[in-house]
Amino acid sequence: MHIFFQSDIGKKRKNNQDFADYFENNQGIPLAVLCDGMGGHKAGDVASEMAVSHLGDAWKNTSLTEIDTIIEWMKEQINRENTRIVKKSTQYPDLEGMGTTLVAAALIGNHFIVANVGDSRAYHYIDGNLKQVTDDHSLVNELLKSGEITTKEAMNHPQKNVLTRSLGVTKQVEVDIVTAPISKGDQLLLCSDGLTNMVDDKEIAEILAVSNRSFEDKVGDLVSLANANGGYDNVTVMLAETYKGKERK
């Protein structure tokens, strides 16, 4: 398994409220976590870094190897972090209203487990096809699913950034979980909306499909394209790849 990520401030923002990292537990199982913070001044930075760092630290101290127990752990720990963010935002006036999205992926054997809250996404690139794994927890996605707006209207909707679910807003948060098989040569992509608002799925798939580009270059290409298309937000891209043949060092 190879994991690489890059986070960029973009072309318009004054600070980067995205945060990402990956960790291994005591059994060597990797967990990738990506968050897109929100809130005035530097509050979003605090929320996203809290969520990633605390979840990662907790993961490193586990020895979990079973899918069912990892799912329960994810739900419990994400809610625990939600409580921390809510508490901190009420204790410090300059952090009032802070929150964050979260998407995390654990890779165990020939399966992945993805957890998400908010509109940061996970994609599975398999056999030349890009499949969105997560469901956006946003007002626009609800309008789209109900048929009230079209896909084209959703792209430039004035309430595009309104979330229906995120960490730091309510005392309890519902966590979506998706599990699926993953094969050698597949790629799992985690990203903030700074990528998906600037680069469409077809363009993402085209970059992931290029066989003569290095793994790190693909991540850099996605970030660069988001900035070339406007770079209106912070953009963070995390890519995990299962090796096709002999594992690279």
Closest CA to 115 of 125, 105, 107: 105
Q: What is the pLDDT of residue 244?
A: 59
Cβ atoms within 10 Å, residue 237: 28
- Tokens found for residue 41: 């001044």
Q: What is the rounded average pLDDT of the residues 38-46?
A: 86
DSSP state of 15: S
Confidence of residue 126 (pLDDT cuts 50, 70, 90): very high
Over 80: is that where the pLDDT of 5 sits?
Answer: yes
Topology adopted by domain 2-136+167-241: Phosphatase 2c; domain 1 (3.60.40)
Query: For a pLDDT cut of 70, what percent of the chain falls above it?
Result: 96
pLDDT at 249 over 50: no
pLDDT score, position 152: 81
Quote the pLDDT of residue 41: 64
Q: What is the pLDDT of residues 176-225, one digit of tens each?
A: 999 999 999 999 999 999 999 999 999 999 999 998 999 899 999 999 99
Q: Is the pLDDT of residue 149 over 90?
A: no
Kindly tell me if the per-residue pLDDT of 38 is higher than 60. Answer: yes
3-state helix, strand, coil in the chain (%, to 5): 35, 30, 40
Q: Is residue 236 over pLDDT 90?
A: yes
Mean pLDDT of the chain: 94
User: 44 Cβ partners below 8 Å, 6+ apart?
Assistant: 17, 36, 37, 38, 98, 99, 100
Over residues 49-73, the mean pLDDT reads 98
- For 7-22, write each residue's pLDDT tens digit: 999 999 999 999 999 9
Where do the domains of the chain lie?
Answer: 2-136+167-241
Alpha helices per DSSP H over 32-159: 43-60, 67-91, 139-145, 151-155
Provide the pairing of β-strand 18-24 with 99-100: unpaired
